[in-house]
Structure 1
Amino acid sequence: MGIKEFMLFLHIIFASFWVGGMIFLVLVLSPFVRKLPIRDQAFQEVGRRFSFYGTLLTLLGLFITGLFNIHYILGFPNLFNFSNQYTLTLWHKIGLFLIVVVVSLVHDLYFGKRALESGFYRIMARILGFVNLILGLAIVYFAVVLRFGG
């Protein structure tokens, strides 16, 4: 396995952990935790841990491996060649990624930390988490489109 294949492999692992973790939280963990008497504390602890592993580390890993993938697959000089569909699709993916970073920061550092203070913060944290999941799935869609040529 060469460096190009290894970087793409890592990129897919990071994406799987990130999106898969969000799907797991929504479909498996949240329905269970809502039934617990310590649900608020459980959500805070799970949120804190996932914020570190599932957001901070994976988004950083996706950013770094994404730069390597741009270099090996497209080349940085071609990144601003908007005459081909591959580059346009890549920019859609990059744009969504940047939005995800902002939404994640607002979710994790503001609303998530205050979710116990009021229903408004709790609802906003849930909405932003859901928005992040939808954006993550859209990024996966664009990755599939890129895999088939753009």
Structure 2
Amino acid sequence: MEVLIMAVHILVASFWIGGMLFMVLALSPYVRKLPEDVAVKAYQEVGKRYSFWGTVIGLPVLFITGVLNMKTMGVGFSDLMNSSNSYASTLHHKIHLFILTVILAFVHDFYVGPRSHLSKKFKITARVIGIINLILGISIIYLAARLRMGG
């Protein structure tokens, strides 16, 4: 069962980061070449679908499987305050970055993103939050790799 939980965690994390990379590296360069009304519609449609699967479904699944993985590794929430344990310290940082990611994802997906076509301010803010979230996601993957190597 532990392997299944870890596999689901990795699959959903791959979808989350892969979706953001797809947006930055494939969708955005293509959509920027389209007429503005078509580009706005494309971003809004893809954004809604990705927000549902990535944010509404994916982030809670990552949280649940992450907590179950902690249990599998024998780490409790009280252990996260032990800075002398490198594994718990790394996990502590990973959890903090995840919480920040969740907050930014909700702000981006349900407030700034849907309004990004209304003003340049919203458009730039959506882009900046998206890039910050991608950097946070990549940082979380790095910390996950550190955890798999012992902390």
Please give the range of the TM-score, normalised by the shorter of the 2 chains: over 0.9
Structure 1 position 81, deviation (Å): 3.5
The answer for unaligned runs of 5 or more in structure 2 is none
Identity across the alignment (%): 49
Partner of 1:63: 63
Counterparts of 1:103-122 in structure 2, within 5 Å, are: 103-122=104-123
Q: Report the Cα distance in structure 1 between the residues aligned to 2:116 and 2:49, rounded to whole angstroms.
A: 15
Normalising by the residue count of structure 2, what TM-score does the alignment of the two structures yield? 0.94
Shift of 1:33: 1.3
What does the per-residue CA deviation read over 1:34-71, in whole Å, with 9 as the maximum and x for residues that have no partner? Answer: 11220011111111111111222111110010010000
Measured after TM superposition, the shift of residue 78 of structure 1 is: 3.6
Q: Are residues 1:35 and 2:33 paired?
A: yes
Cα offset, 1:18, TM superposition = 0.3
2:3 maps to what in 1?
5
TM, length-normalised to structure 1: 0.94
Whether the 8 Å CA contact 2:31–2:39 is kept in 1: the answer is yes
List structure 1 segments (4+ residues) > 4 angstroms apart after TM superposition: none
Query: Alpha-carbon deviation of 1:122?
Result: 0.6
1:122 and 1:109 mapped to 2: Cα distance? 14
Deviation at residue 113 of structure 1 after TM alignment: 1.3
